[in-house]
Every structure is written in C-alpha cells, then in structure tokens.
Structure 1
Amino acid sequence: MSEVLHLANARLVLSDRVMTGHIMIIDGRIVAIVEGDRVPSGAVDCKGDYVMPGLVELHTDNLERHIEPRPKVDWPHLPALLAHDAELASTGITTVFDALRVGSIHSAKSGYGEYARKLADELLDARAAGHFKISHFLHLRAEICSETLLEEMAAFGPKDRVGIVSLMDHTPGQRQFRDLTALKNYVAKKRGMNDADFVEHVENLKQLQTKYGAVHEKGAVREAQRYGAVIASHDDTTADQVAASAANGVDFAEFPTTREAAAACRAHGIAVMMGAPNLIRGGSHSGNVAAWELAHAQMLNILSSDYVPAALLMSAFQLAEIWDNLPAAIACVTQTPAKAVGLSDRGRLEEGLRGDVIRVRTVGQTPLLRGVWSRGARVA
C-alpha cells in the first residue's frame, strides 16, 4: 500500500506567499497542494500551524561535536552519527551537508590527525543501511594551512556524495582571526594551549601557508571539480579575497567577515551565507560583521546553524521580522541553500518534489516545532 501523509488547515509557506490549504504526500513525493481551510477525511488538522519545506543545512560542525564531545575524547562513531542525525531531525533539518575537515598537521604539538575518510565511510555505510532519519551529504572543509590536504582529498571521489568543498585558510592575522586575541581564546579553550604553545601554533600555521597555500588552494579547487562538488569560500574579508574566490569558481561565501566582502560577493553573483547564531545573538562572537546588518542591506542569502542546530529555524523567523516577509526568510533556510548546491528536488512546497516538510507553531516570536517528515515519513 502507498504511504500517505495529508496535512490540512495549514498555513503553507510557498515560495512567494503564505496560503491556507492542505498538502498531500504519497510515497515520499508531494502530489497535491490545494487552497482552502477544509479538512478532508483522513487528513491531519494542523489548526492553522505553518507547514513549510524541511530545512537545508549546508555547514554544521555538529557531527564533529558528537565524535569528540570534549577535547581528546573520542566517541564511538556509529552512535555519534545516529545521535547527530536524530538531533538535526528534531530541529527541522531534513537535508544536511556534514562538514568534515581534510588536511592534517603532524609536525607540531598543536597538530591534528586525519579522520575524514574513515568517518565518511562509516557515514555512507550507515546511510546505505537505512539508519538515518534525514538526508546526508558530505562537505569537505579543505584546510589550506595543513601538510596533507591533497593526499586526503585524493582519497575521495565522485561516488562519495561530496556536495561542497570549502576553502579554509585559517592563517592567523587574517580573515576570521585578524584579531589574535580572539584566536587565542578559541584555540586555548579547545586545545588547552599555554602562551608558548600558542606562539608556536601561530608561527607553524604561517609557515604552512607560505609553503603550501597556493598549491593547496589550486589543488582543492581541482579536486572539487573532480568530485562534481560546489565550491565555497570561507571568511572572505576584502574585495580582493572575494575576487580570488570568484576566480576559483566559488558559488557561495561562508560567513564573510566584513560588509565590504559581502558587497563584493553580491557584485560577483556569489551567494552570502551567515550564521544563525550570529543573527540571533545580534553579532559575531569573533567581532566580525553582524548578520542583521547584512540582512538590512539585502546582502544575506543563506543561513546556517553553524554550531547550534536549533538556531536555524529560530533565525529564519527572526529574519522574517527584519524583512516583514516570511516566505523570503524561510527561503534562506530551504530553497536558496538547496539551489546553491544544485538540489532541485527539495526546498520548496511544489508538486513533484520530495515530501520533506515541517509543521511549526509560533509562541510569541519563537517557533515551536510540531512535526518533521522526511519523504513523508515522520522523523520527529
């Protein structure tokens, strides 16, 4: 028998408007969207709640948090993967690009080892076995300041569901960490460094950038093209850096750190992603440009939960307040990120698309998630 999900008397968030109506999903696909408040026999009465597409997350550190819940604490990978998957489902995310670092440093005390290929294999095996609630793709974070970037990227190929390669240059003194105090606070807490360790860490990264930066950047772009992945820049700060990103074929910019960089992205036709926590908190924890400032300037296209999965839905409703336009705000967490990575089968409520939907009620200005369905099957 066919699997049927029928949600009625709902405020359907379409691409261009909010419409009271009902939506039917059969065998994982949207088959009907009908206007009106009638509740057909057998349908779920949503009692005026919003029904909108499932959220699409392009950049999240959440999986790494589950496999290493504390510094130097390794957690079993399959339970970590399942917990990560369930957590995202519980926040309304139905498609995720799991960020895995590629590029390791073995020559320094502050270095870090290789893990991405092994974890990717475990993730893909779990997906193939049907263990996940939601849809998973890979996002490889290509660390330019590393020793083994190209060797690690060579281990991946077109069959690995690598949808995004982001170019990460964490050289101290530029981009996200122009302020070395902010960098010191971040790495000291994460890796337990003392002052001498930090000085050594900074010098080592600068040397790696000098030695490998240009060849790693070119090689990472080449590998992304081999995978068929979209390329993202990370922490662009100046117009010149954005121009270099455009030359590399970058499709979207993760967290530009200045208004200048965001404006340059717009001029080059590069979509701008900002962090949902930045928007909710009213500013960047690193002292970079505030997401609300770019939103008011119409220079924000995509939101990412970054390090707080539950922030994605909350930030979309906050953005709706800024723009006084709920469909446009919801598009920043559904339609626009899906389009940025070439996923044309989701991100919108339209007949024929995947039945990834969420039901939301608002309590004051806070969205309350009432149900999550992936391909029409309830997952939260």
Structure 2
Amino acid sequence: MSLPPLLPPLRLTGALVLRDGEMQARSVALADGRITRGPLPEVDLSGYLILPGIIDLHGDGFERQIAPRPSAPFPLNSALAATDREAAAHGVTTAYLAQGWSWEGGHRSPDAAEALMVALAAYRPRALTDLRLQLRAETHLVEAETRLIAAVETHRIGYVVFNDHLEEGYRMSRAAPADFALWARKLCTTPQELLNRIEAARARTRAVPRHLCRLAEAFDARGVSYGSHDDPNGETREFYTMIGARIAEFPLGRAAAAAAHAMMNPVVMGAPNVVRGGSQSGNIAATTLIEQGLCDALVSDYHIPALPMAAFALVDRGLRDLPQAWAMISTAPAEILRLTDRGRIAPGLRADLAVVNAETRVIEATICGGRLSYLAGAAARRFLAQPETHRPGALRLAAE
C-alpha cells in the first residue's frame, strides 16, 4: 500500500476560511502539497469552514488499538493503521503518539517503546497522517539513560516529557489495593512484581536530579523539545524550567499552571477535560485555566475526537471565539514545537486542512500535506463534481 496521490492543483471556494486570526470569506488554493496562489480549477465548498489541520501534541488512545484488552494485543501495524484513520477522520494532520518509557514495564517499557519506534518507521511511508512519537520518560528509570538517548537519536524523536508517577503508585499500593491490582493486570504482571519495580525505582531517587540534567543536555544537543507531565505544584515546574524542560503538560492545579505562565512556559491541557467539563482524575478543570489565561494548547490525551469537540465547546461556552479556540489545536501546538511549516493557512505552508460542515460541525474532509486523508458526506460530492480530468485517481475510480 502506498500513499494516495497529491491532489491536483485546486482552489477551494465559497467557504469561510480561518486566515490571519479571523474567519474570512475567501478561497484557498493548493498545489504540490502546499498552500499557493493563482487561478485553478475550483471546488465549491459553500456552507463549509476551512480550518488549519489539527496538531495533536499528546495522545495515548493508540494504546487501546494495540491492546483492546490487556490480555489481547494486536499487531503494531494494524494498531497504527487504525490510529491513523481515526486521526484523519477528526481533522488531525499531525499526531504525536505518547509512548511510555517507564519502570512500570509492559506496554510502557523501553522494549515496547523501541518496538513501536521500529513499527512506526516501517508504517510511516504509507501513513495518511503525519504520525510521530512523544516519549513519556519516567524520571526514576535512571539505568536506561544511555538507552533513552540512543533511541531518541536513532529514531529522531523530537519531543520528550518527564513523568514522575512513582509516589502516586506507591500510595496506591497502600491505600487502594484493588486499583493497584488493576494497574498490574494492565501491565500483564502481578501486584507484587509491580510493587517490587516501584521499590527498586524509589531506591534510585538520589540519582534522579543529575540523571535529568544529563538528559536535558543531550536533548539540547539534538534539538529535542522537552517538558514535564502532571506537575503537582509551582516548585516542580520551576525545577523543570531550570533544566530546560519548558513545556508544562497537564499541570494538576492552578499553582503549577500559574508558575509556568510566569516563566513563559506553554501549558498544555487535555481536550477531553474541556468536553466533559472537568478532569476524569479529579484534577483542575481545563476550562478554569483557559478562563484565567493559563492554558495555551489542547491535546487529545486519551480521545482523539475530543479535539474538534473541545474547540466548539469553548465557542459555545463563550470562552473563545472560533479562531481563538481552533488556534489552541492548530497554531499554538505548532508554535510550541517550532513546526514552522504548519498550523496556519498561508501561502507556502503545508496544505493541512480540515473541512468542516458549518451547520453540523462535522469534519467531512481532511487534507494532509496536499493529500486527501479523509473524505465523507456532502463534501465528497463536491469534490466528485469536478471535471473528470481534474479528479485525483482515487476520486475518478469512485465516480465510475
């Protein structure tokens, strides 16, 4: 299987287009995978919104594609294909799969991470979405430091976040044994073995600060963006800022988010938190931080469809207008990871577009790098209405 061909030169007309921070009644031209200018064959998209493709900086929903049940794993290739198609169907054009690198073992072990890196490298040439990896590196996995740096370099990993869930796990083993047993079962191990892993990791606590500084130095040398995940307080965020880990993912409370804001660190929160009106784990509501100007971008976390849903939820609740809300899932993520060729609709940038039915708010077409990665509904009829000579090969076959 190979990638679908690039769309022929086209001008998308009649839609409201998000350009320069506002919705504008104008056309979008694309050719050779890029936004361009010039008179071109037209596709009438009256009644639609054309928005920048969504950039998802952190999603671990793919874990369910790999193992729908803990004891029922599927091949990595089919899991990546399913994730790819789900992303495309919801307007995502760049997606970072958040893979664990943890003392926990199981599907979040270094072995599992490296297997996913190899599988993604093999799958990427036929991916509809620009799929990448984010590594979630547990801070106490000190003994795998050299291995982590080598994996980042070999597989060109561009984004790492530091996790420290050790004490949370230790407390769970004491206060909530049933939950701890469920966690162990998901990792395909026993509660006692998981506790042994926690104890071994706790014994390395004194080595952690120097370990993180060495990792930070290695990441800086390789141009890797890095941050931290689940900062519990401002002091933790300050520590990570000092070593260069400037991206604050899912701060647990206002103090950590405010500290990040004060130090000009971008704050990333989960789109499902916005859609559901709060955190599923009892932490601060994303909308509270958004209201206070303490959240810069939204990510899929565990549910890809939540990304466009969250943008429209912010609009409906009067917290952001559509250009501002959509920027939190497109322009802001691109800026956070210095992805200068995407996140906006402008000449010369990648043709990454989400075509949204203005009435139903359903994404009916996604264009990723100038290729149709998803097409459905009335938008499909609009594209098929082109003269036969201007249709991409796949659309010509569909019309015959």
How would you bin the TM-score normalised by the shorter chain?
Answer: 0.7 to 0.9
For 1:110 and 1:91, the matched residues in 2 are separated by: 26
Q: Match of 2:30? A: 25
How much has 1:139 moved relative to structure 2? 1.0
Distance 1:151 1:286, change over 3 A: same
Unaligned ranges ≥5, structure 1: 34-39
CA contact 1:274–1:304 (8 Å) conserved in 2? yes
How much has 1:179 moved relative to structure 2? 7.7
For 1:190 and 1:363, the matched residues in 2 are separated by: 43
With the length of structure 1 as denominator, give the TM-score of the two structures.
0.87
Q: Match of 2:116? A: 119
Q: Match of 1:192? A: 185
Distance 1:369 1:238, change over 3 A: same
Q: Select the residue among 208, 216, 221 that pairs with 1:213.
A: 208
Tell me, yes or no, if structure 1 residue 332 matches structure 2 residue 328.
Answer: yes
Distance 1:56 1:182, change over 3 A: farther
Distance 1:150 1:362, change over 3 A: same
For 1:312 and 1:340, the matched residues in 2 are separated by: 17
Identify the structure with the greater helix proportion: 2
Q: Match of 1:36? A: none
Tell me, yes or no, if structure 1 residue 283 matches structure 2 residue 278.
Answer: yes
CA contact 1:274–1:302 (8 Å) conserved in 2? yes
> 1:195-274 alignment to 2 at 5 Å?
197=192, 200=195, 204=199, 207-208=202-203, 210=205, 212-274=207-269
Is 285-294 or 197-206 further displaced after alignment?
A: 197-206
CA contact 2:246–2:266 (8 Å) conserved in 1? yes
1:286-345 CA-partner distances (Å, limit 9, x unpaired): 111100100111111010000001111111111233324111111110011011111100
For 1:323, give the aligned amino acid.
Answer: L
Q: Select the residue among 128, 132, 145 that pairs with 1:150.
A: 145
For 1:182 and 1:279, the matched residues in 2 are separated by: 29
With the length of structure 2 as denominator, give the TM-score of the two structures.
0.83
Q: Match of 2:379? A: none
Sequence identity, in percent? 31
Q: Match of 2:343? A: 347
> 1:92-107 alignment to 2 at 5 Å?
92-104=91-103
How much has 1:224 moved relative to structure 2? 2.1
How much has 1:28 moved relative to structure 2? 0.4
> 1:74-85 alignment to 2 at 5 Å?
74-85=73-84
1:94-126 CA-partner distances (Å, limit 9, x unpaired): 0012222224457xx999562212221221122
For 2:60, give the aligned amino acid.
Answer: D
For 1:101, give the aligned amino acid.
Answer: G
For 2:184, give the aligned amino acid.
Answer: R
For 1:212 and 1:72, the matched residues in 2 are separated by: 35
For 1:218 and 1:30, the matched residues in 2 are separated by: 41
Distance 1:3 1:159, change over 3 A: farther
For 1:149, give the aligned amino acid.
Answer: A
Is 10-19 or 308-317 further displaced after alignment?
A: 10-19
How large is the RMSD of aligned CA atoms in angstroms? 3.0
For 2:291 and 2:92, the matched residues in 1 are separated by: 25
CA contact 1:146–1:208 (8 Å) conserved in 2? no
For 2:203 and 2:321, the matched residues in 1 are separated by: 46
Distance 1:45 1:225, change over 3 A: same
1:139-196 CA-partner distances (Å, limit 9, x unpaired): 111111336431431332446231111011112249xx98889976765434339996
Is 242-251 or 69-78 further displaced after alignment?
A: 69-78
For 1:334 and 1:111, the matched residues in 2 are separated by: 28
- Provide the secondary structure at the position in 2 that maps to 1:192: helix
CA contact 1:147–1:208 (8 Å) conserved in 2? no
For 2:281 and 2:326, the matched residues in 1 are separated by: 26
Q: Select the residue among 129, 135, 140 that pairs with 2:130.
A: 135
Distance 1:113 1:345, change over 3 A: closer
Q: Match of 2:362? A: 368
CA contact 2:225–2:337 (8 Å) conserved in 1? yes
For 2:305 and 2:116, the matched residues in 1 are separated by: 24
